[in-house]
Structure 1
Amino acid sequence: MPMQMICPYCGNYIITVTSPVPGLLTWLLCTGLFVFGCFLGCCFLPFCMNSLMDVSHSCPVCQRELLHHRRL
């Protein structure tokens, strides 16, 4: 969920922009699926699901990353 805050870099009162970023959980699930027999591209399924990815919060004004929420 986007957050309201004051950007520590540009000083504006903003609502953060969120974007999904592959993290440790995504890579572990991909590796696990590959090891258990999903060779034909099914192992990349975790990269298509936003609920399994980390979330990066950034400022819409200065484009700097403010927070990084990790699933693991």
Structure 2
Amino acid sequence: MKEVRFTSNDKSVPGDCTPGINVFYVEAPPTTPAPTVILDVESFPTCPCRTQCPECRQFIVTETFTTVSSVTWLVCIMTALIGCVAGCCLIPFCLDRFKSTTHRCPKCRTSIKTVKKL
């Protein structure tokens, strides 16, 4: 490595590269926080999240899909008993908030966790 000295007599032009001198530009760290990785399977949210697959041990973002659960049927029967028989009782089958969410690994397709509503 060469020792670099800057004096007031140096006449440097921006973009001028002197052979043998290495110039390093340092950037500020990013202002956005790093994504969180959820390793506790019991605390999964209903949306896709970053975690480590327990089967293949890869760090992944889970794939999620919803399935009809007992809560969906319960809300359907409750709305039918209230008097919404003209098709309104089928609304819970169209909304994801009444369904169970299953997380799975996109690489090995292993089911990681099913988040149930009840």
Q: Which has the higher strand share?
A: 1
Residue 65 of structure 1 and its aligned partner are, at CA, apart by: 0.9
Deviations 1:42-63 (A, max 9, x none): 2211010111211111111111
CA RMSD of aligned residues (A): 1.4
Letter in structure 2 aligned against 1:21: T
Structure showing greater radius of gyration is: 2
* 2:49 aligned with 1:3: yes
Deviation at 1:71, TM superposition (A): 0.9
What is the Cα deviation at residue 7 of structure 1? 0.8
**Equivalent of residue 47 in structure 1, options 63, 75, 93:** 93
1:35 to 63, 66, 81: 81
Alignment of 1:11-30 (within 5 A): 11-30=57-76
Secondary structure at 1:38 match in 2: coil
Q: TM-score, normalised by structure 2?
A: 0.55
Q: Post-superposition, which runs of at least 4 consecutive aligned residues in structure 1 deviate over 4 A?
A: none
Amino acid at match of 1:44: L
Higher RCO, 1 vs 2 (CA within 8 Å, ≥6 residues apart): 1
The alpha carbon displacement at 1:35 in A equals 2.7
> Relative to structure 2, which stretch is displaced further, 51-60 or 37-46?
37-46
Give the Cα separation in 2 of the matches to 1:41 and 1:64: 36
More helix by share: 1
**Unmatched 5+ stretches in structure 1:** none
Letter in 2 for 1:52: F
1:62 aligns with 2:95: no
Figure out how many residues of one structure are paired with residues of the other and give that number: 72
